[in-house]
Amino acid sequence: MRPLYPELSSKPVAQPPLGPRTIERFCDLLTRYLEEARAQYIYFAHPLEREMQEALAPFFHKEILEHSLFAPAHPHLKNPDFYPELRRMGIKGLIDLRMVTAIAFKDIVVYQEKITLRSIFHELVHLEQYRQLGAHNFIHQYVQGFFAGGCYEAIPLETQAFDLDTRFHNAPLEFFNVEDEVGRLAHQHQT
């Protein structure tokens, strides 16, 4: 499968062992970064176009489609200020946010270039993950998935979003319920 975001493709790398306090601190820093970015872009945000909502209605919870916002990245995204510290700790393969097509910030999708229907689908999967897990659990699962897998593509939340957007892309008339699919993964992580 060709990755949706080839600029983020990477091979798993062994990350240095990090204790729970370090991971918790990284989650806190990432949470702060996401909250600040969301606050910056909310002023440019707009709802998903009605025709897109209708096209995606067979797949997504109505709340996701009606309440999600989309914002152009003006100014473009930048990497978090804490990245240099992580690199000094030996962390490799950090996601270069300057290169991403789009990113989900809780209930807002910020896009840096023309966003395709497939990219919208992918980011809406993340918004559903946020909705079901809550921001705190989403961030923790994302960070822990990165450290456990050694790269962006090995993060279970990303793997799920890629799997579902690929399923949609390959057969857009074979409807499935993203809410149920995300719920299954969320339930697996709770047990």
pLDDT of residue 180: 96
- Mean predicted lDDT score pLDDT of the chain: 90
Cβ neighbour number for residue 57 with a 10 Å cutoff:
12
Label residue 159 exposed, middle or buried (CB < 10 Å: 0-12, 13-18, 19+).
Answer: middle
| For residue 190, pLDDT beyond 90 | no
Parallel/antiparallel/unpaired status of strands 108-111 and 69-72: parallel
- Residues 56-79: what's their mean pLDDT? 94
Question: Would you call 190 helix, strand, or coil by DSSP?
Answer: helix
Q: pLDDT-derived band of residue 4, with 50, 70 and 90 as boundaries? A: very low
Q: Tell me the pLDDT tens digit for each residue of 72-99.
A: 998 889 999 999 999 999 998 888 999 9
Q: Tell me the pLDDT tens digit for each residue of 139-187.
A: 999 999 998 888 888 899 999 999 999 999 999 999 999 999 999 877 6
Q: Identify whether 75 is preceded by a cis peptide bond (ω within 30 of 0).
A: yes
Q: pLDDT-derived band of residue 10, with 50, 70 and 90 as boundaries? A: low
Q: pLDDT-derived band of residue 15, with 50, 70 and 90 as boundaries? A: confident
pTM above 0.75, yes or no: yes
Parallel/antiparallel/unpaired status of strands 102-105 and 69-72: unpaired
Let me know how many helices (H) and strands (E) the chain has, helices first: 7, 4
